[in-house]
A and B are shown apart, each in its own frame.
Chain A
Amino acid sequence: MGAPVYRGTFGAPQAERLLWRAGFGPRPGEAKALAKLGLDGAVHSLLNPGVEKLVGPRPHDSKGRPLAPADRWGHDHCWWLDRMVRTSRPLVERMALVWHDWFATSNAGVGDQTLMLQQNELFRKHGLGSFERLLLSVTANPAMLLWLNGTENTKDAPNENYGREMMELFTLGANRGAYTERDVREQARSLTGWTSRWSRGRGDYDFHFDAMRHDPGTKTVFHRSGRYAWRDACRLCLSNPKHPSFFVQKLWGYFIPVPPNAATTRALEAAYTQGHELKPVLEIVLKHPALYTGPRMTKPPVVHTAGLLRRIGAGVTTDAWAWIGSLAGQQLFYPPNVAGWDDTRWLDTATFRGRWIGVAQLLNDRRLDPSKGKAPADAQTVLKRALAFWRNPQLSDATNRALLQFAKESLRQAGSQRWKQVQYPVLVENALRQLIAVSPDLQTS
């Protein structure tokens, strides 16, 4: 028996939710266009997007210079944010973000933006392909070799860092009885041999496998013995009976906030074990009724930001997005640790303020000038204008009421003073744009 498929209406609201979960939200008109393809067509188009086209204004930093993602601090974040905003392949970018979280590598430990960008390209290249190829590529990836001490893991002095996290975080999960401390140590031996050269000018370079540094002896992993090396270490994890359940549950969790039921889990595992291919698994997830009829999810901060820019057809015009991302709890290329971001706790009082500042940043170039206010306006009209600025997002009744109450009370402050009657509607419209974008409705999808 396969997994259930969503059979309800697939209109613009459903297409919009799909675009949020499998991308960064719709551009104007995009949800409607996607809905016309029907559920099958829509999911097919996301999974098979063709050659990437970048749509919209080219990015630049606050001084108008082109972004220098390999060189300047923060430009890496802005460069990827721009890609999320302008891409014609939203699911490819969204999966790259998933892999960045899954194989969370931080430039705080790597110290080389070029290597971070190379790793990022891997996530794009293999992001919808096979998990086996992805895992092998990541294991041999220079940024990862530096981050988890792969180049310092030698036959004479094994370093457990990568071997442990490969099992705990990347393939098997902790506390599931999938591996023992002895397996950690043996896997570390299998993974020995990677090295690089170093020079003052270039830093680490020439990453390669050196048989002299590799431990050629017999290792015993998951009760099997052999003269294992790094590829075997990866494949042993993939063939561990506890891997498919770990893998599909973790992947599912990026798209749907409630766990899959038993039948769906079986279908996901069956689709995955055929060849560790990602598309069949993603197809089940993206067509599942729980995605369309289930609860909402908190948007990750960078998805919230990219979505607001897409919504109004804006581009990246400042490098402030990097530190704003950090305040909102998600600076790209700097996950908090190797387990990635905590997707269950995006929002707290500090990160809420970070999101607020992001919205203020976006509105800064678009503020309406109160001295140019022409005529008094009522609360309903001002709210309508502010909603139109964001292309009329669907808001809950409670949110609409709160916004309207704010608008009414503010406009009442104008009293009988003419200048206030003319200027306050403009101030209120500026404020409403801010409040709409930070409302619980737009923080979630």
Chain B
Amino acid sequence: MSSRVVCDECTRADLFRAVAGQGLPAIEAGMPMPAGTGLTRRGFVARSIGLALTVYGAGRLGIFDEGIAAAASAPQQPILVTVFLQGGADALTLLSPQADPLYRKLRPNLAVSGGTPFAEDASLSWHPALAPLAQLHGEGKVSVLPAVGYDHPDQSHFTSRHFWEVGATDTRLLTGWLGRYLDVAGTKDNPLQGLSLTGSLQPALATAKVPVAAIDGPGEYDFWTPGVWGEVQDRMLDAIGLLGRVGGDDAAMRTAASVTAQAATLRKQLAPFAGDKIPAPAVPYPTGDSFPQRLQGLAAMISAGLPLRCVALEATGEYDTHASQVSALGPALQTTAASLYAFQRDLEARGVADRVLTLVWTEFGRRAKENGSGGTDHGAAGTGFLIGTHAAGTQVGEFPGLAGGLDEDGNLKATSDFRGVYAALLEQWLSFDAERILPHAKSFARPTLVK
């Protein structure tokens, strides 16, 4: 896929603004003013979590209380955030062995030059656009996985991504690795425990038992209907929950009902943010892209004490660079790294950084030899990063080198296994027995990921 995008009238960001505007609870013309409730805009301070909220229109204060109560009463759990670089990000661009003559030979047109040297391995340099990550690494807050993957790598996007999402090289598993964790460690009434901030559910969070959620951002999860307001609107919102209890024998009906019930619960949980009432970030984020916006919303939700446990996002950019790799990767890496940097600084400024670890992953790296379309074809081992104040900050597995480090297909060999990484995260960060979650967990060595 190339990365040209055509949009002659609006940008994606405009689009989402339009949606948020659409969803604002409207005070409609001709709407009478019931005595005593004050239907004008009014300030409502949620003292329990220190958020200043403006409540519009006729919402019963009850739903805000519920959202805040659920948030405030949640114990402070560690949070694992995953960020997916979709398409297979090129390991030899992210961290490049610039001094190796073989690199120039394999990559006559695509070889990266410049960038900060990688402090733990003098043969590698950070891509210049990853300077923000290099800085965090210098502070001991980034663990680098220069060649993470698995034996007998599958070069299909979909198969390889599936393996990473389910936490096993098993094509038949249907639940995600984080979903299975939530199924045993989570609760039946909290969709926010597994949150996709991507507009649709990320497979890693697919559960068998407990509810999880997908949203675009915390500020727009509202439900508006023309010609409905006041007490009837409140009842209608409750009725979403009633429809969520419609069960029956049919699997598709049950699924639809269960998602409806999750939507009803989630709306209450996110009530403090309704109408885009997201507190300003503590630090500037990149603008004009949904990824930094979502991270900014995420930092605000964590800071507000919402009961999050596992969160999945997709980074900005298209990493399946069969062609035009240089022009596609530069801006994508720039925005992604700057956004992750802002997120980390925001968490630190809000005093919640100690609760969050962020794993950056991709389904595979790319072929060492460039393909002649100015791009690279599918490869094997890829790059991973673990970011956070509690990240051990030391590299996991070595860079295997180009001479001797490539497999018979000419792809980078893995020096760490993603299942070992998952097991280590479950045990060292979430304090949970990995063998209850990952098939054959015993057989994978655990790197030290957490300090």
> Which residues of A pack against B, CB within 8 Å?
71-74, 106-113, 146-149, 152-154, 156-161, 164, 168-169, 174-175, 181, 184, 257, 295-298, 323, 326-327, 329, 337-339, 345, 347-353, 356-357, 359-360, 363-364, 367-371, 396, 398-399, 402-403, 405-406, 409-410, 413, 419, 423-424, 426-428, 430-431, 434-435, 438-441, 443-444
Contacts and interface: CB of A to CB of B under 8 A. Distances in A.
Interface string B65-80: 0000000000000000
A266 B215 CA distance: 43
Interface stretch (B95-103, B134-142, B237-245, B295-303): B237-245
Interface stretch (B345-353, B368-376, B426-434): B368-376
Looking at chain B, what size class is its interface with the partner chain?
35 or more
Contact of A109 (B2, B32, B206): B2
17 contacts: A109-B1, A159-B323, A159-B371, A164-B156, A339-B157, A345-B206, A349-B213, A350-B196, A353-B221, A363-B227, A402-B239, A402-B242, A409-B235, A423-B32, A435-B239, A435-B243, A444-B252
B158 A360 contact: no
Interface stretch (B17-25, B41-49, B121-129, B390-398): B17-25
Given A108-B5, A159-B372, A360 B377 contact: no
Nearest to A108: B5
5 shortest A-B CB distances, which residue pairs? Answer: A157-B372, A367-B227, A152-B373, A440-B256, A111-B4
B113 interface: no
B259 A175 contact: no
B263 interface: yes
B208 interface: no
Contacts of B238: 406
Contacts of B242: 402, 405-406
Contact of B30 (A113, A351, A371): A371
Contacts of B251: 257, 295-296
A113 B7 CA distance: 10
Contacts of A327: 19, 199, 216
Given A159-B323, A174-B159, A438-B260, 19 more contacts: A73-B6, A108-B5, A109-B1, A109-B318, A157-B373, A161-B377, A174-B154, A174-B158, A296-B251, A329-B200, A351-B199, A351-B200, A357-B19, A370-B30, A406-B235, A419-B32, A424-B232, A428-B232, A444-B256
A157 B371 CA distance: 6
A107 B378 contact: no
B8 A73 contact: yes
A212 B370 CA distance: 22
Interface residues of B: mostly helix, strand, loop or mixed?
Answer: loop
Nearest to A414: B231
Contacts of B358: none
A398 B248 contact: yes
Nearest to B10: A73
A298 B260 CA distance: 13
Contact of B236 (A73, A106, A431): A431
A434 B226 CA distance: 9
B120 to A, nearest CB: 33
Most buried by A among B158, B227, B372, B377: B227
A298 B254 CA distance: 11
Contacts of B191: 349
B6 A113 contact: yes
B322 interface: yes
A430 B260 contact: no
A71 B8 contact: yes
Contact of B1 (A113, A147, A364, A427): A147
A348 B225 contact: no
B97 to A, nearest CB: 23
B336 interface: no
B201 interface: yes
B327 to A, nearest CB: 14
B1 A148 contact: yes
Contact of B252 (A298, A338, A403): A298
B7 A73 contact: yes
Contacts of B371: 157-160
A431 B239 contact: yes
B187 interface: no
Given A149-B2, A153-B373, A348 B196 contact: yes
A161 B86 CA distance: 16
